[in-house]
């Protein structure tokens, strides 16, 4: 069965820096290597995504088109992975921006600047030099990908998109050509942004209903998954 654009697939994956260690995985033994020395429990889950829609690393997405269910080793250049390093992404920020939020910029620490993560490089006088490049920018990497199956169930597809768009497991119901999505109060406009994607990928018209949530985790929604290797602190510019 040849995999085509917009096919939903379930994969196990591990990403490694060329001649280096693991930087991402959804396989427990590989995640344990990544988080070696940490006390928190390691949790893994299958990753389901539609091919060719920019929901996984560009080079992997492109490689799997036309392939079949199976296991592949995929070496990637920076251009097909996390991009080249951009000198323009290294910027200087007044230390007062940190002091105003009672933060201490130490070289090596990572901060959230209005949704973008950056690493502190140097602190000199009243200036802090930070790097907004992806930590893996400029690096050759390799992915081991095992395509477990092509996903056909509409409910699994909906759940995978909800997880990707909102990092949340919302209640929903599929009725003929309609998807009724129940979101916490205040999230209707955000959900509406993805109306076109649900239609394009699932062939379903989206109907959003706001509900009172009894789950604390539903009250704070992350649209983008942050880096977890270092402590992250938010700074507003």
Question: Would you list the DSSP string of 86-114?
Answer: -GGGEEEEETHHHHTTT----TT-EEEET
CATH number of the domain to which 104 belongs: 2.40.10.330
pLDDT, one tens digit per residue, over 92-125 is 999 999 999 899 999 999 998 888 899 999 999 8
Whether residues 79 and 33 fall in one domain: yes
CATH for 37: 3.10.50.40
Q: How many domains does the chain have?
A: 3
**1 and 109 share a domain?**
no
Angle formed at CA 12 by CA 73 and CA 141, multiple of 5 degrees: 40
Contact 232, 117 (CB under 8 A): yes
pTM attached to this predicted model: 0.80
What is the residue range of 197's domain?
A: 153-225
User: Which pLDDT belongs to residue 151?
Assistant: 98
Residue 148 and residue 195 in one domain:
no
- Taking CA atoms, 147 is separated from 15, 34, 65, in Å, by 14, 22, 12
Six-digit token string for 167: 């990092």
The number of C-alpha atoms within 13 Å of 73 and in the hemisphere containing its C-beta is 3
Say yes or no: 145 and 218 in one domain: no
Strand arrangement of the beta sheet that strand 116-124 belongs to = 90-94, 127-131, 116-124, 110-113, 232-235
169 and 62 in a single domain? The answer is no
DSSP 210-229: EE----GGGSS--SSPPP-S
Neighbours of 108 (CB within 10 A): 9
CB 126 within 8 A of CB 96: yes
Q: Which of 2-16, 98-112, 173-187, 205-219 has the lowest mean pLDDT?
A: 205-219
């Amino acid at each position: 069965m040849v995999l085509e654009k917009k096919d939903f697939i379930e994969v196990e994956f591990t990403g490694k820096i060329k001649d280096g260690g693991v930087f991402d995985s959804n396989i427990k033994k590989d995640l344990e290597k990544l988080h070696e020395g940490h006390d928190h429990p390691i949790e893994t889950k299958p990753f389901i995504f539609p091919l060719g829609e920019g929901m996984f690393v560009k080079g992997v997405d492109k490689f799997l088109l036309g392939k079949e269910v199976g296991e592949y080793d995929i070496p990637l250049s920076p251009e097909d992975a996390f991009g080249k390093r951009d000198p323009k992404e290294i910027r200087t920020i007044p230390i007062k921006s940190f002091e105003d939020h009672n933060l201490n910029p130490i070289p090596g620490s990572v901060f959230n600047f209005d949704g973008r993560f950056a690493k502190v490089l140097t602190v000199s006088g009243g200036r802090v030099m930070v790097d907004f490049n992806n930590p893996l920018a400029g690096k050759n990497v390799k992915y081991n990908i095992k395509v477990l199956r092509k996903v056909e169930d509409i409910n699994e597809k909906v759940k995978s998109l909800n997880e990707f768009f909102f990092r949340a497991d919302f209640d929903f119901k599929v009725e003929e050509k309609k998807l009724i999505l129940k979101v916490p109060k205040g999230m209707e406009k955000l959900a509406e942004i993805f109306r076109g994607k649900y239609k394009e990928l699932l062939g379903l018209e989206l109907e959003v209903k706001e509900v009172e949530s009894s789950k604390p985790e539903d009250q704070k929604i992350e649209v983008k998954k942050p880096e977890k290797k270092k402590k992250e602190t938010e700074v507003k510019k």
